[in-house]
Structure 1
Amino acid sequence: MSGQLPLAMAARRPPGFEHFVIGDNAAALHSLRYDTGCLYLHGPPGCGKTHLLRARARSEPGALYLPADMISDSDSLAGAESVSWLGVDDLEALSGRPEAATTLLRVLDSRRSQGLPLAVAARCETQNLPELLRDLQTRLTQCSAFRLRPLDETSLRSWLEARAQQRGLHISDTAVAWLLRHERRDPGHLESALERLDIAALAAKRGRITAPFVRMVLGEG
């Protein structure tokens, strides 16, 4: 099969709460949807932090989702004090950047004084954040904290089978096992893999997705 797919890769669907695979994260999902205070989400890559922040921003007019590596001086957060909701992702990106951390601290203080909601996400708990200003860490410990847990293999397998079925793909058990063995085990990445398989199966006029076909489309892993 040619490495060139017949169609440009379909645009990834915008993340929404309805697409989030809950697993053991129901409390975090509920709080992010409805809480009006300060939230701190932490957990390993692929557990859904970015998905949830972007879903909240998408669901609310006037909201702002912002990766922390885009924060520099005060101009980079102009207007962030007054948006309807603010989500800051990948907080570790502020490590060793005191000016950016101070800028975010001022915004957090302003929003708290106004009673405006915000959420911050990072890989670790606040006390383990590297090289962040002590004042910023102190403010973040005052937020309601939720640890997001990755899906276990059984949940991921069930989700993969359900998503394939929703796409009209008949995927074999061995193909699912190959995906779980060779691809990153997070729903966002696996959704992208299913998207590629969907396009390739359509081009090849295949009705069933097998492990050899998956290897051909996605590589040996």
Structure 2
Amino acid sequence: MQAELRRLVGDRQFDVWLAPLQPGPPTDDGTLLLLAPEDVRSWVATRLAGALDRAAAAVLGPDVKVAVQALDARGATPGATARHGTAGAGRRGARAAAQPPAEPPRTPDTRLNPRWTFEQFVIGEANRFAHAAALAVAELPGQAYNPLFLHGPPGVGKTHLLHAIGNYVKAYGGGLTVRCTTVEAFTNDFVASIQRGDMAAFKDRYRRADVLLVDDVQFLAEKVRTEEELFHTINALLEVGSQLVLTADRLPHDLERVEERLRERFAAGLVTDMRPPDAVTRLAVLRKRAHHDGVEVGEGVLELLAERIAGNVRALEGALIRVVAFASLQDCDIDLALAERVLEGLYGPDHRPGTSAGAAGAVGSAPTITVERIQELTCEAFGLTRDELLSTSRAARVAWPRQVAMFLAREHTAESLPRIGRSFGGRDHTTVLHACRRTAERLAKDPEAHDAVRALTEELLRHGADRAG
């Protein structure tokens, strides 16, 4: 069984996590009892349970069950030698996995951009949840959210977060291996491996990674053999508890030309969206980029760029790079007049890259109704404070207005259900759906409730019209 386990999980994972296991005494029901030191027991029981079951089935028969218990539960002495190795050696490996190494190990071909770290990522309302999920995954690979699926339009920071996870694990993961790839690179590697006849080496590269990061999975569409290989790779990784993170420009169920079984795998963990940054976040991005690059700009320059370039982070940083380049070529200061000339020459006097005439956040466009404004008007209408509205109280005087506010947020904003839920005290999307359903049912039966919600809706729309004017 030892050899089978080593084959399934690889030498590194076996030596760190499985070597300290000791066989326990026989059990009445024939369960294979394995004793693990407390510092590795939880990890083995959660991340490597599938590998233990498969190894036991292969060696001892399909009916054998495996149970992992704490070593001290049976009175075993720490450091005792077992058939699977020494407990002392295992604990040394576990401690190494919990502490940053003096110099992070460099694994070949990880393709991580060292500039894309969590420290360099600017957090805003459009990406706050995605950032938190990515950081949780980096801190606890395989235990927080697995797989993690980041989706959003181009240029909103998906790839930055993907590489930030990899860089964090390399620095603080105690030797956990990271492989970062794109669908295009994965496909090219797969095809080249078939041509060379070394598919075993290809599988070893991807299936023995502790953390696999895959960018732009929407490009899997109609790559039948690549889809099949990635599907089996994902299964192999999840079975041994390795972390998987993927990005795409749309939700898993919207990847219509990707195999259904892959879409189901993508959606099986945590799916989180990222959207174009708001004006405050855009300004913060520019300030951080200018500080990082040591660029001195005149008053109002960054504010102008943040106002005019409302598309995505790539367009935003590209505009700053162009302004800096023009200043360097003309040997002049980066002031507001120069920025105006550069933007007008590149985009015209009024055009804002990445936006349409009615895009939210663009200067001069009609403002959209926000969840925050809905909450404010709801509180005024029902005599509540904002803290009461967002609280966990289920009292009727609080629960009904909260349901109304969620209903209006769904009807009058472009926010997704998860984002609406998070705006109401961190609730999930199912709570929002329930609130909308209950509100619709009550409006159909209760004339007084119908009139109250209609009046609130009219006030909300009147506020939007006033702001637009």
TM-score with structure 1 length normalisation?
0.79
**Which amino acid letter does the alignment assign opposite residue 250 of structure 2?**
C
The more displaced of 207-216 and 78-87 is: 207-216
Q: Residues 96 and 171 from structure 1, CA distance in 2 versus in 1: closer, same or farther, beyond 3 angstroms?
A: farther
- CA RMSD in angstroms comes to 2.8
Please tell me whether the aligned partners of residues 231 and 262 of structure 2 are also in contact (alpha carbons under 8 angstroms).
Answer: yes
Bigger share in strand: 1
Please tell me whether the aligned partners of residues 276 and 312 of structure 2 are also in contact (alpha carbons under 8 angstroms).
Answer: yes
The more displaced of 197-206 and 34-43 is: 197-206
The answer to whether the aligner puts 1:59 opposite 2:188 as a matched pair is no
SS at match of 2:229: helix
Aligned counterpart, 2:159? 50
Please tell me whether the aligned partners of residues 170 and 209 of structure 1 are also in contact (alpha carbons under 8 angstroms).
Answer: yes
Out of 115, 133, 145, the residue aligned to residue 14 of structure 1 is 115
Alpha-carbon deviations, 1:171-190, whole Å to 9, x = none?
Answer: 34366435653x57323443
Unaligned residue ranges in structure 1 (runs of 5+): 1-11
The answer to whether the aligner puts 1:68 opposite 2:183 as a matched pair is yes
Please tell me whether the aligned partners of residues 161 and 171 of structure 1 are also in contact (alpha carbons under 8 angstroms).
Answer: no
Alpha-carbon deviations, 1:36-83, whole Å to 9, x = none?
Answer: 231111111111111111222233333111111223347485311111
% identity of equivalent residues: 24
SS at match of 2:206: coil
Paired with 1:48 and 1:174, the residues of 2 have a C-alpha distance of 23
Bigger share in helix: 2
Q: Residues 113 and 26 from structure 1, CA distance in 2 versus in 1: closer, same or farther, beyond 3 angstroms?
A: same
Paired with 1:175 and 1:193, the residues of 2 have a C-alpha distance of 10
Aligned counterpart, 1:105? 231
Please tell me whether the aligned partners of residues 175 and 211 of structure 1 are also in contact (alpha carbons under 8 angstroms).
Answer: no
Please tell me whether the aligned partners of residues 178 and 211 of structure 1 are also in contact (alpha carbons under 8 angstroms).
Answer: no
Q: Residues 55 and 158 from structure 1, CA distance in 2 versus in 1: closer, same or farther, beyond 3 angstroms?
A: closer
The more displaced of 123-132 and 159-168 is: 159-168
TM-score with structure 2 length normalisation?
0.40
The more displaced of 190-199 and 20-29 is: 190-199
**Larger RCO, structures 1/2 (Cα 8 Å, 6+ apart):** 1
Please tell me whether the aligned partners of residues 28 and 148 of structure 1 are also in contact (alpha carbons under 8 angstroms).
Answer: yes
SS at match of 2:338: helix
Unaligned residue ranges in structure 2 (runs of 5+): 1-112, 171-176, 195-201, 348-469
Paired with 1:71 and 1:48, the residues of 2 have a C-alpha distance of 21
The answer to whether the aligner puts 1:26 opposite 2:128 as a matched pair is yes
Out of 133, 156, 167, the residue aligned to residue 259 of structure 2 is 133
Aligned counterpart, 1:85? 211
Q: Residues 205 and 127 from structure 1, CA distance in 2 versus in 1: closer, same or farther, beyond 3 angstroms?
A: same
Aligned counterpart, 2:270? 144
SS at match of 1:146: strand
SS at match of 2:160: helix
Paired with 1:196 and 1:218, the residues of 2 have a C-alpha distance of 12
Paired with 1:193 and 1:185, the residues of 2 have a C-alpha distance of 11
| Larger Rg belongs to | 2
